[in-house]
Homo-oligomer: A and B are copies of this chain.
């Protein structure tokens, strides 16, 4: 048999059928997404007033993404050419020659890598864009459905989230599988291109979306909630539309692209390490590559199965299994997915791969995703000690509130490392006897397992901004209504929103942890890949290890460790500045007579414009730093030190990201806990009290930490790792300092310095420049309804 020409790569019949099934699963999940989309779109969009608000959000979000795409396209173009040419630095690999013949190997690999890069970038973009558009379609419909009942509103929001989840699964699985089908054992080059495209786009979406959303959110809150004492989403606040747009471009588009990229990168590094194992495994078994693909397909099926069971749990006949509420039903369905995946992974591992340890790794991964729930939840839940301690600290003002939140964030980061370390130790114990490459592969398999249920995760995560937006639309469209039905609908929306906050926080924890596991897998690929390249180039001393005891490597470690700090510093500064501009804008508009009384409609577009300018301005600089730094470090300190650099990035990145995410989450919930108290200003409790104000300061500080700086590190860690992998052949080849190399290094460093300086420029001037220079060219926002 020779299905899809797979026999050429040495696959036996079972393996050929399995790969076909994997491919089919990918298409199936895309089809499922399409079907869900139709279901959601059938629902009504509510009153004209609701659609008016909704349209403003939709246009703001669409125009932001369009402008973002226009901004990054030139850089993508340059990188596409660079990637094509990069293949020519080293002779074609043994595997590529075997697959495509001596003559064609190089050009095919070059074209393959380039197409894969574009494919990765487009998929990441698609997941982000379509996911966000879907969320926007869903929010107004969920708001409208809330007038009819809780369950309908919930299912609209959850199914819309599931669509994005299925897109992530489908496109990620399709990309990895098709590359393997075409390139077989020569796949690594193309896989790297695919991974790089995905992570780079995710970086843009995360950074841009993160800055946009928090500049608007912080700005809106500082004036609205703190100074004017008006509720969130009050239509008199000029930044309220920007805030709602931000939820979509940040929490939806940014998050979806980010998780897609982790999903993709784990499969990329899993396949690269699998191919490395295949080369040294005495039986040259293809199982090291086929197993992870099968697991991924099983995961997708489990995810779909899980989403099917959501409506069942609230009506389940056995009492102790019956879900008490929507939240519990979602978690129960997640557990169904987990059990299913673990069961099938053992079946496949034992009967096909004849190695039960592989299934253990998958189970550890699945378990890790589950284990992060209680961990994140302990440090950020309103019911646990850390948040209560922050609430206690609000009694003595904002300073102690901040201090105690910082402390909570730091501690949570320590335990997150401990959990990850435990999973590594198990992987180590399982494969210790087999050799170092096996252990590295084992770590990558934990990553594969961990991201099995990306479908559910993305669904639960996207659900958050959808219900948040629905709530906002309700607040704005119904602000002058106070009948019984509206009050009930409002309560439903608020409940949905609360569930969304929990699911969002939990999936964020999983996203960061999986990002680190994915980065460690890439780091592992780096180690095996550099050796391969060196042998190909005939280097005498092949790198077998990355020794931090070597001063050069230690220097690399220090520099790498510093990079996430630079990145966070720049993105925080961007938000702080942009939020300051928004505050001044909103304050200015509130001074317009009649505004506070709600008689004049604010100019929402200006706040959207300021957020957009602030976000756009960071895109190129931060991407340039992530792409150029590893190459510069590699050329100056050479390839082993580059390994140290990557280790440093992973270490600092993990610690910083979790610290920022959980500190932010804890402050957020501490504020909520105070808001839930009885409002009594003399006892200093509840909304409007001094304690509440301290809580709001904490929440506001936490917002950009948890939604901009923290999450931006996820794709950044992986972009630097992938760039290092791709640039490794160049670095190995030009390991002697010549005048040419020095010139290139100087240019690279100049680029980094330019990027830092550019990022530190004020956003307002850019916004003004933008308006002055391009006012004619600005797209006319037609209020088209679909």
**Residue ranges of A at the interface with B (Cβ–Cβ < 8 Å):** 218, 222, 226, 389, 392-393, 395-400, 402-404, 406-408, 410-411, 413-414, 417-418, 420-421, 424-425, 427-428, 436, 439-440, 443, 520, 523, 527, 545-555, 557-559, 561-563, 565-566, 568-570, 572-573, 575-577, 579-580, 583-584, 643-644, 647-648, 651-652, 654-655, 659, 696-697, 700-701, 704-705
Contacts and interface: CB of A to CB of B under 8 A. Distances in A.
A414 B562 contact: yes
Given A417-B558, A417-B562, A562-B655, 5 more contacts: A393-B576, A400-B579, A421-B559, A548-B644, A652-B655
Nearest to A556: B421
B697 A399 contact: yes
Contacts of A704: 403
A572 B579 CA distance: 28
Nearest to A442: B551
19 contacts: A222-B397, A396-B580, A396-B583, A400-B700, A403-B576, A404-B576, A407-B570, A407-B572, A407-B573, A411-B570, A417-B558, A417-B562, A421-B555, A424-B554, A436-B551, A546-B549, A562-B655, A565-B655, A697-B697
Contacts of A655: 561-562, 565, 652
Contact of A545 (B222, B545, B563, B570): B545
A403 B647 contact: no
A565 B414 contact: yes
A128 B391 CA distance: 37
A569 B428 contact: no
A584 B684 CA distance: 14
A84 B562 CA distance: 40
Nearest to A395: B580
Given A403-B575, A579-B400, A655-B561, A520 B701 contact: no
Given A222-B397, A397-B697, A548-B546, A654 B558 contact: yes
Contacts of A647: 548, 554, 557
A110 B596 CA distance: 79
B413 A551 contact: no
Contacts of A654: 558
A521 to B, nearest CB: 12
Given A407-B572, A562-B413, A425 B555 contact: yes
B402 A573 contact: no
Residue among A406, A548, A701 facing the most chain B CB atoms (10 A cut-off): A548
Nearest to A640: B549
A548 B545 CA distance: 7
A704 B406 CA distance: 11
A269 to B, nearest CB: 14
Residue among A527, A562, A696 facing the most chain B CB atoms (10 A cut-off): A562
A674 to B, nearest CB: 16
A565 B425 CA distance: 21
Nearest to A568: B410
A555 B651 CA distance: 10
A445 to B, nearest CB: 13
A33 B557 CA distance: 42
B555 A545 contact: no
A755 to B, nearest CB: 13
Contacts of A396: 222, 579-580, 583-584
Contacts of A549: 436, 527, 545-546, 643
A410 B428 CA distance: 34
B701 A403 contact: yes
Nearest to A420: B558
Contacts of A570: 407, 411
A570 B389 CA distance: 13
A396 B227 CA distance: 10
A651 to B, nearest CB: 4
Contact of A580 (B393, B554, B566): B393
Residue among A410, A417, A428, A555 facing the most chain B CB atoms (10 A cut-off): A410
Contacts of A575: 403
Contacts of A553: 548
Contacts of A554: 424, 520, 523, 647
Given A551-B443, A655-B561, A697 B398 contact: yes
Nearest to A647: B548
Nearest to A654: B558
Residue among A527, A583, A697 facing the most chain B CB atoms (10 A cut-off): A697
Contacts of A421: 555, 558-559
Contacts of A425: 555
Contact of A652 (B399, B561, B568, B583): B561
**A-B residue pairs, 5 tightest by C-beta:** A399-B700, A410-B569, A545-B547, A411-B569, A403-B576
Residue among A399, A436, A555 facing the most chain B CB atoms (10 A cut-off): A399
A104 B159 CA distance: 79
A730 to B, nearest CB: 21
Contact of A550 (B397, B414, B545, B566): B545
A598 B165 CA distance: 67
Contacts of A705: 406
A548 B643 contact: yes
